[in-house]
Chain A
Amino acid sequence: MHIRVDSTTRAPGPGEWVLLMYRLPREPSTPRSAVWRKLRRLGVAQLADGLVTLPADARTREQLDWLAEEIQEAAGTAGVWLARPASMAQERDLATAMAAERAAEYAAVREGAHAAAALDEPAQRRAVRRLREELRRIRRRDFFPPPEREAAVAAVEALAAGPATSPPAAPAAALGKGRLR
């Protein structure tokens, strides 16, 4: 898989990552599942049981800081660390695994767009709104955009354009390019 690592902000060598290590009591299960949902929404990579990570920037650090606070308030323990993978290979593996997870999410959006093409027009319009929203959410946690992203964007925009016009593959692909975090 081809992985783009942002070369404008990254010095040569592995970049900085923010790590959240946490432990939460098994019961009550409500805070556990709330934390789990938030970690999923942030698109973290799981390194080990109770250890997750994201590429470090002001935003990801803050998000993991708040999550650590929430875990402590729920009678758990948590710590936020900054670290660098010791090798480029290790960072690449991490980025590849994260990109693969996003790729699966983009593929589901593309399939959703294809499936919606068979629906009547009002249902198609609703599907376009829902799928664009879903794309926006995936993009927010997409740190290493996989090629599946452009295909998903193109499929949703083709659905939006309707069957009468040809799918605007080129503009949709151009829109997806060069988006830096």
Chain B
Amino acid sequence: MRWATRQGVHIDRAACAWLIRRFIDPDPQFLFVADASEVPDDATPFDMPGVEYSHHGADCTFETLLRRHDLTDPVLWRVAALVHEADLDDGRYDAPEAPGFDLALRGLSMVAGDEQTLALTGPLFDGAYEFFRRQVMLGREPA
């Protein structure tokens, strides 16, 4: 499937691309556009104003994707807390790592293109998911 989002990827779009590849569409192709009017007909837009997979109410796009695809895995919702606080910083969740992820993604966007940012952040979100999975399983901080 083809997926389209805005250029200049930050935390929410990078995390959504990771979520799509890992849990929604095993063979996604991502396009980056400057404006919603440039999204091709066969591509599903995400994290753009006015589209289905976007911010809704207090949710960021990552949370919207989880809800629309009935992804109830508590580990994914812990990743959602990280993404939400790094993106919106509104205190909805307790995610003390969020400012660090925010800085990492903003810095990355200064030195890497969108494709490269997705390639580099994929393993980062894999690792965060694994960390939170062990944390949930153990009920304490993993080693």
Whether A58 touches B8, Cβ cut-off 8 Å, given contacts A66-B55, A69-B55, is yes
Q: Within the assembled complex, what's the spacing in Å between the Cα atoms of A78 and B8?
A: 24
- With a cutoff of 8 Å between Cβ atoms, the chain B residues found around residue A4 in the complex are none
Asked whether B57 lies within 8 Å of A70 as measured between CB atoms, the reply is yes
- With a cutoff of 8 Å between Cβ atoms, the chain B residues found around residue A41 in the complex are 89-90
- With a cutoff of 8 Å between Cβ atoms, the chain A residues found around residue B10 in the complex are 59, 62
Main secondary structure of the interface of B (DSSP, over half): loop
Q: Does B142 contact A (CB under 8 A)?
A: no
Whether A69 touches B8, Cβ cut-off 8 Å, given contacts A41-B90, A140-B89, is no
Q: Does A136 contact B (CB under 8 A)?
A: yes
Whether A69 touches B49, Cβ cut-off 8 Å, given contacts A58-B8, A136-B99, is yes
Q: Does A73 contact B (CB under 8 A)?
A: yes
From 42 to 90 in chain B, residues with beta carbon under 8 angstroms from any chain A beta carbon are 49-50, 54-58, 89-90
- With a cutoff of 8 Å between Cβ atoms, the chain A residues found around residue B8 in the complex are 58
Shortest distance between the CB of A62 and any CB in chain B (Å): 8
Whether A73 touches B90, Cβ cut-off 8 Å, given contacts A58-B8, A65-B49, A136-B99, is no
Q: Does A126 contact B (CB under 8 A)?
A: no
- With a cutoff of 8 Å between Cβ atoms, the chain A residues found around residue B90 in the complex are 38, 41
Q: Does A154 contact B (CB under 8 A)?
A: no
> In the complex, which of the residues A59, A69, A137, A140 contacts B54, with contact meaning CB atoms closer than 8 Å?
A69
- With a cutoff of 8 Å between Cβ atoms, the chain B residues found around residue A62 in the complex are 6, 10
Shortest distance between the CB of A28 and any CB in chain B (Å): 13
Q: Within the assembled complex, what's the spacing in Å between the Cα atoms of A136 and B50?
A: 31
Closest B residue, CB atoms, query A37:
B90
Shortest distance between the CB of B94 and any CB in chain A (Å): 12
Asked whether A73 lies within 8 Å of B99 as measured between CB atoms, the reply is no
Whether A70 touches B55, Cβ cut-off 8 Å, given contacts A58-B8, A65-B49, is yes
Shortest distance between the CB of A41 and any CB in chain B (Å): 7
Shortest distance between the CB of A149 and any CB in chain B (Å): 18
Asked whether A68 lies within 8 Å of B57 as measured between CB atoms, the reply is no
Closest A residue, CB atoms, query B6:
A62
Asked whether A66 lies within 8 Å of B57 as measured between CB atoms, the reply is no
Q: Within the assembled complex, what's the spacing in Å between the Cα atoms of A140 and B89?
A: 10
Q: Within the assembled complex, what's the spacing in Å between the Cα atoms of A112 and B92?
A: 25
Q: Within the assembled complex, what's the spacing in Å between the Cα atoms of A73 and B6?
A: 21
Q: Within the assembled complex, what's the spacing in Å between the Cα atoms of A69 and B89?
A: 18
Closest B residue, CB atoms, query A31:
B57
Closest 3 CB pairs of A and B: A65-B49, A66-B55, A69-B49
